[in-house]
């Protein structure tokens, strides 16, 4: 079992390699590694990330087969299935770090802001479910001066949504709360910059 802070440092180092266009040897998949993983896995970190094609967690963090337990959903939202997936890896494999990974210019955030300003009459119920998950964390921003600055609004909305997902995981699951209290599980937020390739980890 890899302690949470050690796992976090491994992700930081991997992202630095990625941003510098350098790949670590562990990211290359060997026949031996595939055979080892056929009998089990021990991912050192859980990544709840956005489905955006430009933010594949294994590549962004320069990790290899079997290193990360990745859950991807538009807007890195937290719904029961995502909570259950995090619980599964944390309890079954002893993974002690959870990272909610959002990113700049997130389409789900942009779509939510558009919907709040100009509601769509015939929006798909499934898409609406995603918007409804994002809405509480960004709606209040539209009542601030940020509404006059589109770029700043999106930036803060992305961060607010990441923090909301982190908070949901920390306080919306008895299983995860127990693991945080007794087993050293850490849940942190992070934002990937599409422009630079750098991941910024949030302090709280």
pLDDT tens digits, residue range 48-92? 999 999 999 999 999 999 999 999 999 999 999 999 999 999 999
Task: Record the pTM.
Answer: 0.93
If one counts the domains in the chain, the total is 1
| H/E element, 97 | strand 97-103
Phi, psi of 29 (to 5 degrees): -90, 125
CA distance readout (Å), 143 to 56, 75, 153, 164: 33, 22, 11, 18
Tell me how far apart the alpha carbons of residues 188 and 197 are, in angstroms, rounded to a whole number. 19
> Domain limits at 154?
4-201
Q: Give tens-digit pLDDT for 124-166.
A: 888 888 889 999 988 889 888 988 888 999 999 999 999 999 9
Tell me how far apart the alpha carbons of residues 84 and 73 are, in angstroms, rounded to a whole number. 14
Query: CATH code at 162?
Result: 3.40.1050.10
């Amino acid at each position: 079992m890899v302690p949470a802070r050690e796992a976090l440092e491994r992700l930081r180092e991997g992202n630095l390699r990625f941003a510098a266009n350098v790949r670590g040897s562990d990211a290359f998949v060997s026949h031996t590694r595939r055979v080892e993983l056929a009998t089990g896995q021990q991912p050192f970190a859980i990544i709840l990330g956005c489905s955006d094609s430009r933010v594949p967690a294994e590549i962004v963090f320069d990790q290899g087969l079997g290193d990360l337990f990745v859950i991807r959903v538009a807007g890195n939202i937290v719904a029961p299935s995502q909570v259950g997936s995090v619980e599964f890896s944390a309890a079954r494999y002893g993974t002690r770090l959870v990272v909610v990974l959002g990113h700049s210019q997130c389409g789900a955030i942009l779509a939510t802001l558009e919907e709040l300003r100009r509601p769509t009459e015939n929006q798909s119920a499934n898409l609406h479910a995603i918007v409804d998950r994002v809405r509480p964390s960004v709606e209040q921003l539209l009542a601030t001066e940020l509404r006059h600055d589109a770029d700043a609004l999106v930036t803060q909305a992305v961060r607010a949504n990441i923090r909301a997902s982190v908070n949901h995981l920390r306080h919306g699951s008895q299983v995860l709360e127990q693991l945080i209290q007794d087993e050293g599980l850490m849940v942190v937020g992070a934002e990937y910059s599409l422009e630079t390739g750098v991941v910024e980890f949030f302090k709280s």
